[in-house]
Amino acid sequence: MTEQKMIEEKNKNEKKAEVKLVETKKEVKAEDVKNEIKVENSAGEEVKTEEKKPEIKKDKVSKKDEAFAKGENLHASKKHCMYICSFIKGKKIDDAIKDLEDVMKFKQAVPFKGEIPHRKGKVMMSGRYPVKVSEIIVSMLKGLKGNVIANGMDLERTRISEGISNWASRPAKSGGRRFKRTHVVLKAREFEEKKTKMGAKK
């Protein structure tokens, strides 16, 4: 063999070695991406196992005992809101919604005070049917129900504990018309079930 052929063969071998080195580097990078670990068995064979990703612990939502629903600048009478709040106080949210829907259908009256005609009903002398205000309060009760569920409270043990109505800033009169604006806050709380002497739940 001539010297030129010897030099050409050496160059070819060097190029092959460089190509092998590049391929091994690529394989190592691919393994790093896959997060694989090589472990030898008792027989000496290599086994690939995927690395487990660290689990992210999610903080548990702390359960709350109260839920609120606020209505600001409602186009409603403060007097009507006040009587409706006292009408639904102490009831379950679903029962309060059902009662106000009956008020909108003129099947049940809300107790009022003053020189108002008497209505038929249990423990009621005078009452009225505030339909528009009942629609507003029903929408607030549905929002309160959603807040109760979001707080992890039990609907069966939840009662409307407070209902507050206050004056809001009222716009000026125009053409002899008076505009009414009221702030309303509804509060629900989860109560524990009471047990009688015989052990039955109320």
Q: What is the pLDDT of residues 36-60, one digit of tens each?
A: 455 555 555 555 555 555 555 555 5
**E strand spans, 129-181:** 158-167
Based on the fold, state whether residues 15 and 81 are members of the same structural domain.
no
| Residue 7, pLDDT above cutoff 90 | no
Based on the fold, state whether residues 118 and 160 are members of the same structural domain.
yes
Based on the fold, state whether residues 113 and 22 are members of the same structural domain.
no
131, part of any domain: yes
CB 125 within 8 A of CB 118: yes
197, part of any domain: no
CB 110 within 8 A of CB 103: yes
Please return the burial class of 115, using the count of CB atoms within 10 Å of its CB with bins 0-12, 13-18 and 19+.
exposed
Residue 33's domain spans which residues?
A: 11-50
pTM of the predicted structure, to 2 decimals? 0.62
Count of domains for the chain: 2
Helices 131-150, 93-104: axis angle to 10 degrees equals 160
Q: How far apart are CA 39 and CA 46, in angstroms?
A: 6
Based on the fold, state whether residues 183 and 109 are members of the same structural domain.
yes
Based on the fold, state whether residues 93 and 42 are members of the same structural domain.
no
Based on the fold, state whether residues 111 and 79 are members of the same structural domain.
yes
The most confident of 35-39, 78-82, 117-121, 178-182, by mean pLDDT: 78-82
Based on the fold, state whether residues 71 and 151 are members of the same structural domain.
yes
DSSP string, 5-63: HHHHHHHHHHHHHHHHHHHHHHHHHHHHHHTEEEEE-TTS-EEEEEPPPPPPPPPPPPP
Stronger pLDDT, 51 or 191, i.e. the higher one: 191
The CATH number of residue 92's host domain is 3.90.470.10
Q: How far apart are CA 141 and CA 97, in angstroms?
A: 7
pLDDT (tens digit, 9 = 90+) per residue, 14-27? 666 555 544 554 55
Based on the fold, state whether residues 39 and 75 are members of the same structural domain.
no
58, part of any domain: no
Based on the fold, state whether residues 26 and 119 are members of the same structural domain.
no
pLDDT (tens digit, 9 = 90+) per residue, 131-186? 999 999 999 999 999 999 999 888 899 999 999 999 998 887 777 677 889 999 99
Based on the fold, state whether residues 74 and 163 are members of the same structural domain.
yes
CB 67 within 8 A of CB 148: yes
Q: How far apart are CA 65 and CA 55, in angstroms?
A: 31
Based on the fold, state whether residues 93 and 155 are members of the same structural domain.
yes
Q: Distances from the Cα of 115 to the Cαs of 125, 126, 127, 128, 180, in angstroms? A: 10, 8, 10, 11, 22
